[in-house]
Structure 1
């Protein structure tokens, strides 16, 4: 018997998504909280009047850039399944609300991976990044992404690869994709425009940082040929900010080692490597009392942490992240805020009782803004493989492209300069106009620098169980959303500031598939609306709750 999650649970929010007009009450609550936490913005009355006017006119409203940045960071802060939230205020926000069309969106998804993993000398200095695409508008179809994560490995019926993606692999193969048949073939992105056929986009080598696994004391381990990708990028969760839903808002951080070593590579329904490692170690596997699984998973996790450190790719361990999470809880309490947490996700899958997060009770609350992987979020992504439907074809889509964006129009009237902004990405309106607006890369387009030799692995994790990787600078490269908002200080788009340091310092995992990353030091917490100083900052990231 399967019990439904209680109301307020991450998969069953108190208020579900629908295509009705935005809830004005939720919008007001968000705006008031923004102004309460940032008094310099002044009285929110004028902004609330603008929002209510837009909702009355078209059923939704456009967030300003400041609102988008703050809302995305706050969503991470409220992600109850993320252990790495201590760095919520350093999330890099890429504003692509005016990016439309499968090709343009795919280009920005690839750029997201490059920005997150770093390029050139910064390769491996991972930072937490979110890319936000057009918001949901009542009655308007939109382009959907089939992938639940931007990087996943193919699975084949003969047992090769990741068993979790056998069906998905067969679906993309039917569409014309051809894998090598190896254990770590990177799956393509699949995007489908309203009324159109699904299109495949391969990820270039320069966008995928992978790490080959070896062991500090066991020479034979490298011969297993294992690897994993360094960037966990969750793409199937719905971001909701002030009543506005963003169906496509992929976010990433870096891994907590157990997400790879104790889940992706160890789970019996994934790569199932524990029997192999145990055999190589010469362990007695005849009965469970020998604890051969425990010994094998320990060495597998040691190999993961060692390999990422050798490759200069950020990763963190579960003991460090557990301690940092409690530091985060204390900081939030001092700020007068509660920290919602799901015990079953916060406690690591290995040595849980040895970590301080195990010996406490937590309150899981449905606090917004937040990320959701509920039935509505799944319906919005509508991957025919993951959710049992047929190929997606929506005959009513033509109306969407013929129907101009009222939000964009209102935004342009409110902020004419947005059309000519010279920041990395010209400030496009949050809701795309009829004609596709070329997506300006919110973060400087990193050249396709070759992936660090030491880092090859692609990762299937869903940022659901790990902690957030700390991110270097606040909202780097944000394209101000069209804004009808009071002229709150503009936050200059920060260029992808190099992540300071620590080659492989442990970091925080992401809340949905569990990755984290970053140095041990806790970076100075900056005001989300404070202009970027340009100084390098420590980064960590966390997952918001998808299956690992």
Structure 2
């Protein structure tokens, strides 16, 4: 919808009517109770002719988000995509409101450990103005510091948000939660501290190795993807955070064991008494197996939903056999190069014409006030409203 080239915002474009028609025909085939597609197409063409865009019905939005989730491959085994909860918050475009509802998403998704798959959809790009965007790759990520402490994958992002006003804890640790960065065209990037009560973490211990807990490893319970844009029928929703639940190897292999992450494979191997002098001893493989065992054991013990990579492999093969061929008209999640770069380096801003503010991050108390304000007005899933 809003074209962005080399970090600079250009004039908005009107909706592609072919994409809109393709999606609406697909929707009406799946939902014949919605009425004649010809009538809906006539309404959409008239709306686009007047405004340059159109508004999905709540049912169209839910269907499109669920199809995008299903076809993206992000649905983990055991996840009934048809029952994904879609939070329709298309009226929300101010940074504080978006951040507050991201906190609410985390609360709802965590669900006491019984992870609840959710998608929260914020304001779309349109000729009247672009929607908000979230910089963070996932809503919860850990800081990385120049001295090697923490998660080195996010060292550049950490430096960027410190330059924007974020203050690391007085006693820096290996698992300091980074602030949420929400950017809007009219406010620029703003920082928000996530309240500790919605950052549910699982300490990692091993079922057979008592010394494992002394490594001090832990991980957050819910993987909420924050920086992918949702495209449905020619409409782009740049902020549409969504989650399922973790595959154990995403934590054990990719985050904890990997040398580009926490590099825990070698300390584990040394504690096991393995020969780490050569990769040919396969010490790394043996250490990674124990890390993955520890992750699955710890999440199960904490009663937090998780799946393993073997179950996921079977699920993914089934998905590959049955997936639809992608066309330009099918709903999908996309990761733009600029969004990927912002998630790792903390820039450049999506709207380069707006200088990044140097400001203190909003406190957890402020977010709590926002949540209480929203909860006072509604209960359960939110209906669309202005914010």
Same fold (TM over 0.5): yes
1:357-396 paired onto structure 2 within 5 Å = 368-375=330-337, 378=338, 383=342, 386=345, 388-389=347-348, 394=353
2:38 aligned residue: 45
Question: Displacement of 1:148 after TM fit?
Answer: 2.0
Are 2:46 and 1:57 equivalent residues in the alignment?
Answer: no
Give the 3-state SS of the residue equivalent to 1:198 in structure 2: strand
Are 2:99 and 1:140 equivalent residues in the alignment?
Answer: no
Question: Displacement of 1:386 after TM fit?
Answer: 3.1
| Structure 1 unmatched runs, 5+ | 1-16, 333-337, 341-363, 397-437, 446-475, 483-548
- Report the Cα distance in structure 2 between the residues aligned to 1:166 and 1:149, rounded to whole angstroms: 15
1:167 aligned residue: 156
- From the superposition, tell whether residues 197 and 61 of structure 1 become closer, same or farther in structure 2 (CA, over 3 Å): closer
Q: TM-score, normalised by structure 2?
A: 0.85
1:203-214 paired onto structure 2 within 5 Å = 203-214=194-205
Work out which of the residue numbers 109, 116, 119 in structure 2 matches 1:116.
Answer: 109
- Report the Cα distance in structure 1 between the residues aligned to 2:310 and 2:375, rounded to whole angstroms: 36
Deviation string 1:203-256 (CA, Å, 9 cap, x unpaired) is 111111100000000001000000000111111111000110000001111100
Contact 2:139–2:180 (8 Å) recurs in 1: yes
1:287-306 paired onto structure 2 within 5 Å = 287-306=278-297
Question: Displacement of 1:90 after TM fit?
Answer: 1.8
2:3 aligned residue: none
1:51-450 paired onto structure 2 within 5 Å = 51-80=44-73, 84=77, 87-118=80-111, 123-138=112-127, 140-180=129-169, 181-328=172-319, 332=322, 338-339=323-324, 368-375=330-337, 378=338, 383=342, 386=345, 388-389=347-348, 394=353, 440=374
Contact 1:95–1:442 (8 Å) recurs in 2: no
Question: Displacement of 1:328 after TM fit?
Answer: 4.9
Deviation string 1:85-132 (CA, Å, 9 cap, x unpaired) is 8522121100111113221111101000000001xxxx0000111110
Deviation string 1:482-515 (CA, Å, 9 cap, x unpaired) is 9xxxxxxxxxxxxxxxxxxxxxxxxxxxxxxxxx
| Structure 2 unmatched runs, 5+ | 1-9, 356-371
- Report the Cα distance in structure 2 between the residues aligned to 1:309 and 1:383, rounded to whole angstroms: 34
Question: Displacement of 1:56 after TM fit?
Answer: 0.8
Contact 1:100–1:439 (8 Å) recurs in 2: no
Question: Displacement of 1:268 after TM fit?
Answer: 1.3
Q: TM-score, normalised by structure 1?
A: 0.61
Deviation string 1:416-472 (CA, Å, 9 cap, x unpaired) is xxxxxxxxxxxxxxxxxxxxxx99569976xxxxxxxxxxxxxxxxxxxxxxxxxxx
- Report the Cα distance in structure 1 between the residues aligned to 2:92 and 2:343, rounded to whole angstroms: 24
- Report the Cα distance in structure 2 between the residues aligned to 1:60 and 1:267, rounded to whole angstroms: 45
Question: Displacement of 1:35 after TM fit?
Answer: 1.0
- From the superposition, tell whether residues 268 and 97 of structure 1 become closer, same or farther in structure 2 (CA, over 3 Å): same
Contact 1:21–1:138 (8 Å) recurs in 2: yes
Deviation string 1:115-164 (CA, Å, 9 cap, x unpaired) is 0001xxxx000011111000101262443322221100000011110001
The structure where helix makes up a greater share of residues is: 2
- Report the Cα distance in structure 1 between the residues aligned to 2:130 and 2:317, rounded to whole angstroms: 42
- Report the Cα distance in structure 2 between the residues aligned to 1:142 and 1:37, rounded to whole angstroms: 28
2:368 aligned residue: none
The structure where strand makes up a greater share of residues is: 2
1:526-541 paired onto structure 2 within 5 Å = none
- Report the Cα distance in structure 1 between the residues aligned to 2:315 and 2:232, rounded to whole angstroms: 26
Contact 1:104–1:439 (8 Å) recurs in 2: no
- Report the Cα distance in structure 2 between the residues aligned to 1:211 and 1:306, rounded to whole angstroms: 10
User: Which runs of 4 or more aligned residues in structure 1 lie more than 4 Å from their structure 2 counterparts after TM superposition?
Assistant: 80-86, 326-330, 364-367, 390-393, 438-445
- From the superposition, tell whether residues 442 and 26 of structure 1 become closer, same or farther in structure 2 (CA, over 3 Å): farther
Are 2:381 and 1:477 equivalent residues in the alignment?
Answer: yes
- Report the Cα distance in structure 1 between the residues aligned to 2:153 and 2:38, rounded to whole angstroms: 50
2:361 aligned residue: none
- From the superposition, tell whether residues 30 and 478 of structure 1 become closer, same or farther in structure 2 (CA, over 3 Å): farther
- From the superposition, tell whether residues 277 and 395 of structure 1 become closer, same or farther in structure 2 (CA, over 3 Å): closer
1:343 aligned residue: none
Question: Displacement of 1:384 after TM fit?
Answer: 8.9
- Say how many residue pairs are matched: 359
Question: Displacement of 1:195 after TM fit?
Answer: 4.2
Give the superposed CA RMSD: 2.9
Give the 3-state SS of the residue equivalent to 2:15 in structure 1: coil
